[in-house]
Amino acid sequence: EIVMTQSPATLSVSPGERATLSCRASQSVSSNLAWYQQKPGQAPRLLIYGASTRAAGIPARFSCSGSGTEFTLTISSLQSEDFAVYYCQQYNDWPPFTFGPGTKVDIK
Amino acid sequence: EVQLVESGGGLVQPGGSLRLSCAASGFTFSSYSMNWVRQAPGKGLEWLSYISGSGSVKYFADSVKGRFTISRDNAKNSLYLQMNSLRDEDTAVYYCVSLYGSLFDSWGQGTLVTVSS
């Protein structure tokens, strides 16, 4: 089973600032990595897949880089609606599908 | 518009059983693999189970293997999760999720299962 880790657990950022979230896989997942955003009381939604492709309707301020075992999600200028929990998930080798523990982005 | 609506959650005693349902609409249900994903209170996401579009292929997480069963009725556009031998640690919100390729592309709103005496 591929184990996903994320850092930091919590990131405090001021609106308008850049946020950088990290995700690491215990073995290579190639570019088969997705990011999900979850706001309080809501279901997660697909944000990015293929390590760098934004899902439909996701604004360009969200970008992702990396391949293999190290990935980074960057939010270039945080808007109020971006404060949420972000999960990475590998789909290179399944079952099982595995998620990281999440990074909470909150207001500084 | 894709809609996934879960139902069947509630309070159940340890060792008990519960059957979750997910009603799908807005897409050709039989063409899509489906999954159940859960989230314990204040915790992260845990994939539980997969079923192919025809229902012939099924996978389970080790944490629920032998206790949970996944099924679907394509004529009714419905997905099910039969949960037996429930434990305290099964307390969670359970999401029905469609798979597009290998992506968890559409999620229901979730149904809360509480296992407690």
User: Which tokens go with B29?
Assistant: 């249900």
Cβ pair B107:A49 closer than 8 A: no
Which residue, among B39, B59, B102, B111, would best test binding to A if mutated, counting the most A CBs under 10 Å from its CB?
B102
What pLDDT does A51 receive?
Answer: 77
Cis upstream peptide for A44 (omega within 30°)? no
Could you give the CA distance from residue B59 to residue B51 in angstroms, rounded to a whole number? 7
Cβ pair A43:B47 closer than 8 A: no
pLDDT digits (tens, 9 = 90+) for B61-93: 999 999 999 999 999 999 999 999 999 999 999
Q: What is the mean pLDDT of chain A?
A: 96
Q: Smallest Cα–Cα separation from A6: which of B107, B45, B49?
A: B45
Could you give the CA distance from residue B67 to residue B115 in angstroms, rounded to a whole number? 14
User: Which tokens go with A32?
Assistant: 């088969």
Could you give the CA distance from residue A42 to residue B46 in angstroms, rounded to a whole number? 16
Is residue B61 within 8 angstroms of chain A, CB to CB? yes
pLDDT digits (tens, 9 = 90+) for B22-67: 999 999 999 999 999 999 999 999 999 999 999 999 999 999 999 9
What pLDDT does A53 receive?
Answer: 93
- Strand, coil or helix: what is A80? helix
